[in-house]
């Protein structure tokens, strides 16, 4: 038993990650899957005219066209991911052209294309939602759920797993993106009006993180009692990601109470910069990297987890600033296209800063959550957001051209006098969407994924499983998780005790 545990620990240790380009390449897959799913529904509507589908059909469709490709992309298709993405682009492009040519209104040849484009850019969308923000948060959660189990199978590329000290693994980005995803929709980013003093709001946030603390303690106790394999250099002996999430949220709420919310970017820069200076000028970096003696108290035993909180706070503050920008109400398509451009521009600037920082200071380190890690997480998140927003714009265009608006988790046309039946049908479609199901109970989804990961590791010899068995187990695990969350969504149950 102990030897098996040591083998599994070695299996996820001493890894160096992959390239920045490969991580960025993966940003294209999910948006293409969303476009393909939308085009399938539009084609079905044009051919049969019968939407929405039965609930089980929507579940199977969403699972097959969103989650299945994500599982395959980090397992058996990981080495040909570029070809998969290229293939999806070609097929989606062909279907887009087919729908456009067959359904666009007939106009004079010399003005039709200009008129259609101008009309589309000036068209309005419902401003009560920002679909790509919701999808970003859900996909980060889904990819995290896939990775925490997949990493224990040999079919999962080692370059995707968390790096030991320096490097850019896909799972490294997932950790930072999870923190940023929470910041995007925090009350401060949504400009939510709150009652009471700032002190009372801080106290409220302090109380609201108790589920994360309980989950962290539960994970700590279960891991120690079960003998589950641990990667101690990831966070430390007693620390885990639940504790990091809890402290980041409390500290961030204090900072947002003391400083203007629209200066969150400045706080992120100051925190990240000062933390990097501390790493360089003191012995902190050496203590983290060469922390072989973990008997000197709690801080010594958990140096990685405690120190990296500072970097995650910087990421969270940057996420608040991004949330302030993207969650601002906008109605015209051309305004959202400007948002996409600005996200891409911001991502390019930060990637440039990252390259300079890596050349002059040090490489990316998720273990320390240093300044390069913060820059990379924010830059890659902005790029991923821009890809998802582009997919939203494309889907909205196809919905406008085809006349089929019943594609969930995307923009709906803004109508001056929408009929009751139309609004009811749109709500029904959203009520059958797996993305909305995960969005309703994100923390529960994450908890269930962690629970099922532990159970799977007890029941399945993940270390020696064949590629076929590994993929089947992963798909079964994700379907059970998705099905449970989907049923709760159908029943309109939101699990929240805080």
Confidence of residue 416 (pLDDT cuts 50, 70, 90): low
Q: Which of 110-124, 186-200, 381-395 has the highest mean pLDDT?
A: 381-395
| Domain presence at residue 128 | no
Mean pLDDT of 390-403: 92
- Model pLDDT, residue 477: 97
Predicted confidence (pLDDT) per residue in 472-483, tens digit? 999 999 999 999
Mean pLDDT of 73-83: 96
pLDDT averaged over the chain?
Answer: 90
Looking at the chain, the whole-number percentage of residues with pLDDT higher than 90 is: 67
| Domain presence at residue 49 | yes
Position 68 pLDDT exceeds 90: yes
| Domain presence at residue 116 | no
| Domain presence at residue 496 | no
Tell me the C-alpha distance between 317 and 163, whole Å: 24
Predicted confidence (pLDDT) per residue in 239-297, tens digit? 999 999 999 999 999 999 899 999 999 999 999 999 999 999 988 999 899 887 777 78
**Is the backbone peptide bond immediately before 52 cis, with ω within 30 degrees of 0?**
yes
- Model pLDDT, residue 107: 47
Residues in the chain: 498
The pTM assigned to this predicted structure is 0.94
Q: What b/e readout covers 323-337, taking b as 16+ CB neighbours within 10 angstroms?
A: bbebbeebeebeebe
Position 419 pLDDT exceeds 70: no
Tell me the C-alpha distance between 374 and 207, whole Å: 27
- Model pLDDT, residue 362: 95
What phi-psi label fits residue 415: left (phi over 0), alpha (psi between -120 and 50 degrees) or beta? beta
User: By C-alpha distance, which of 424, 485, 433, 436 is closest to 57?
Assistant: 433
Strand partners, 168: 17, 18
Do residues 259 and 201 touch, judged by C-beta distance below 8 A?
no
The whole domain housing 185 covers 2-105+133-490
Predicted confidence (pLDDT) per residue in 94-138, tens digit? 999 998 888 755 444 544 566 777 788 888 888 778 999 999 999
Predicted confidence (pLDDT) per residue in 196-254, tens digit? 677 777 788 788 888 899 999 998 898 888 777 677 888 888 899 999 999 999 999 99
- Model pLDDT, residue 423: 78
- Model pLDDT, residue 372: 97
| Domain presence at residue 31 | yes
| Domain presence at residue 405 | yes
- Model pLDDT, residue 120: 84
Total count of domains within the chain? 1
Do residues 375 and 361 touch, judged by C-beta distance below 8 A?
no
- Model pLDDT, residue 339: 97
Mean pLDDT of 321-336: 94
| Domain presence at residue 286 | yes
């Amino acid at each position: 038993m102990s030897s098996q545990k040591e083998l599994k620990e070695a299996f996820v240790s001493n890894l160096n990650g992959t390239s920045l380009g490969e991580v960025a390449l993966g940003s294209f897959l999910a948006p293409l899957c969303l476009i393909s799913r939308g085009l399938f529904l539009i084609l079905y509507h044009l051919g049969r005219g019968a939407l929405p589908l039965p609930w089980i059909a929507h579940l199977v469709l969403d699972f097959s066209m969103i989650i299945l490709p994500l599982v395959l992309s980090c397992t058996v298709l990981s080495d040909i991911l570029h070809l998969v993405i290229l293939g999806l682009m070609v097929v989606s492009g062909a279907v887009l052209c087919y729908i456009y040519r067959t359904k666009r209104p007939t106009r004079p040849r010399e003005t039709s294309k200009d008129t259609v484009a101008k009309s589309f850019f000036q068209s309005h969308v419902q401003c009560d939602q920002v679909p790509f923000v919701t999808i970003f948060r859900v996909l980060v959660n889904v990819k995290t759920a896939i990775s925490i189990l997949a990493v224990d199978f040999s079919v999962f590329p080692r370059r995707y797993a968390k790096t030991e000290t320096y490097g850019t693994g896909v799972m490294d980005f997932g950790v930072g993106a999870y923190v940023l995803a929470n910041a995007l929709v925090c009350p401060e980013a949504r400009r939510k009006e709150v009652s009471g003093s700032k002190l009372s709001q801080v106290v409220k946030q302090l109380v609201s993180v108790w589920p994360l603390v309980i989950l962290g303690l539960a994970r700590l106790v279960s891991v120690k009692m079960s003998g589950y394999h641990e990667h101690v250099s990831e966070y430390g002996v007693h620390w885990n990601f639940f504790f990091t999430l809890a402290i980041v949220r409390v500290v961030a709420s204090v900072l947002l109470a003391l400083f203007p919310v629209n200066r969150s970017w400045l706080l992120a820069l100051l925190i990240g910069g000062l933390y990097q200076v501390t790493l360089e000028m003191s012995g902190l970096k050496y203590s983290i990297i060469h922390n072989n003696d973990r008997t000197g108290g709690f801080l010594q035993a958990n140096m990685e987890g405690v120190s990296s909180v500072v970097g995650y706070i910087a990421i969270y503050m940057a996420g608040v600033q991004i949330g302030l920008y993207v969650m601002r109400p906008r109605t015209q398509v051309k305004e959202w296209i400007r948002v996409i451009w600005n996200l891409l521009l911001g991502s390019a600037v930060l990637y440039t800063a990252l390259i300079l920082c890596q050349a002059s200071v040090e490489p990316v380190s998720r273990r320390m959550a240093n300044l390069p890690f913060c820059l990379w997480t924010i830059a890659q998140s902005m790029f991923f957001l821009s890809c998802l927003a582009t997919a939203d714009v494309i889907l909205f265009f196809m919905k406008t051209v085809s006349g089929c608006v019943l594609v969930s988790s995307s923009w709906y046309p803004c109508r001056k006098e929408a009929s009751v039946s139309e609004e009811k049908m749109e709500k029904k479609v959203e009520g059958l969407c797996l993305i909305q199901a995960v969005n309703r109970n994100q923390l529960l989804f994450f908890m269930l994924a962690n629970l099922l990961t532990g159970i799977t590791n007890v029941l399945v010899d993940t270390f020696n499983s064949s590629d076929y068995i590994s993929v089947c187990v992963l798909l079964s695990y994700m379907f059970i998780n998705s099905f449970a969350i989907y049923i709760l969504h159908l029943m309109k149950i939101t699990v929240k005790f805080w």
